[in-house]
Chains A and B, each alone.
Chain A
Amino acid sequence: MRQTRTADRVRVVVTVSSGDEFATENGAIIFLRRSTQGSMNVLLGIVGSEESMRALRATVERTREVGDDLTIAVVEKPESDRTQDDVYAQTAELVEEAGVDAEIRTLEGDPGSALVELAERGEFDQLVIGGGTQSPMGKIRLGPITEFVLLNATTTVKLVR
């Protein structure tokens, strides 16, 4: 508990067990800030596929709840039916709607390798990717980019299925 005093008010700040901070100010209880305990520096890689859009929504949701630092990298995938600009614009819109603060950037070159390299260069705790499609039978299949990232990343990788 800490107490601050200005000319016209006395503020008492209390940190509760979750790490969230509340304050009483002139008799009223106000929410001060969300805990930053457990928050991470996260890099999310997306190509614009349905799986990566699912990963984007899940990650933005977590960022909002936990207060992670989020960087989103839109990678280049020539065989994709959507352009990188398209995916970038949709991502920016989704992030803004969610009211989350995230850096969005594009990456050139081989998608798997570019992501792994960026994750290594930056100070990221976790690299998040989406992956896993289902065959008619219901078998889960992971594509080559997913496999490359899982095997080659030096950070923790989170696969959103």
Chain B
Amino acid sequence: MTMRGSRVYPDERAGPFPAPPDTFEDAEGRSIEIRALEEDDERQVDDLVAMYLEFDPVDRAQGIPPTGERRVREWLDPILEGSVNVVAWHDDQIVGHATLVPDVDDPAVATDQPDSIEWELAIFVLQAYQQAGIGTQLLEHLLGYASEVGIENVWLTVERWNGPAISLYEAVGFEVCSAESFEQEMAIRLE
């Protein structure tokens, strides 16, 4: 086990993971395309906002995503700066989003030395597209993309009672690194 920042990361590195772009058929027979999000493309950001406006508030975790366009944009604007994002498209609609947000005050550090910092991971899939394998694909492709850009240390928090999510994270190589309150933290070290 290796300490990096405040967290303990597994000694063993996980990977390799597939990188975007990629297309696959989900469990419902829908053709899903996984691509890196171009954060500078306003139209793509608008499509991402549209996905969050359709997101069922019942599936919010730990206060995110927020509701209402103003709050969604207020939440997305800073996290899209310096973060690494992969989205799942079905037809012309974004139906899933996986992101890595750098744990830094200065986004320049994230770009210059991605391996020196910790990255927080989160995945959101629209309700109508859940249980179809899209979350797993998003997760693996995000980690593949992260590896390509030189990211090594990824962590996340998940609510302790969210068994299906925890199993998904464990399956790709995340290990529990702290579980002292409602949420537990998990971490992975990439190749």
Q: A residues within 8 Å of B by Cβ?
A: 134-144, 146-147
Contacts and interface: CB of A to CB of B under 8 A. Distances in A.
B120 A146 contact: no
A98 B99 CA distance: 44
B99 A141 contact: no
A144 B62 contact: no
Interface in B57-97: 61-64, 75, 79
A139 B103 contact: no
B79 A138 contact: yes
B141 to A, nearest CB: 19
B182 interface: yes
Contacts of B120: 135-137, 139
Contact of A136 (B61, B63, B102, B181): B102
12 contacts: A135-B157, A136-B101, A137-B120, A138-B75, A139-B63, A140-B64, A141-B181, A142-B181, A142-B182, A142-B183, A143-B181, A147-B182
Output the residue of B61, B62, B75, B99 with the most chain A CB within 10 A: B62
B172 interface: no
B181 A137 contact: no
Interface of B: 61-64, 75, 79, 99, 101-104, 120, 122, 157, 180-183
Contacts of B75: 138
B182 A138 contact: no
Output the residue of B120, B157, B182 with the most chain A CB within 10 A: B182
A138 B78 CA distance: 10
A148 to B, nearest CB: 9
Given A144-B180, A144-B181, A146-B181, A138 B63 contact: yes
A138 B77 CA distance: 12
Contacts of B180: 143-144
B181 A140 contact: no
Given A144-B180, A146-B181, A147-B182, A139 B62 contact: yes
Contacts of B63: 134, 138-140
Contacts of A137: 64, 79, 99, 101, 120, 122
Contacts of B104: 136
Contacts of B183: 139, 141-142
A38 to B, nearest CB: 29
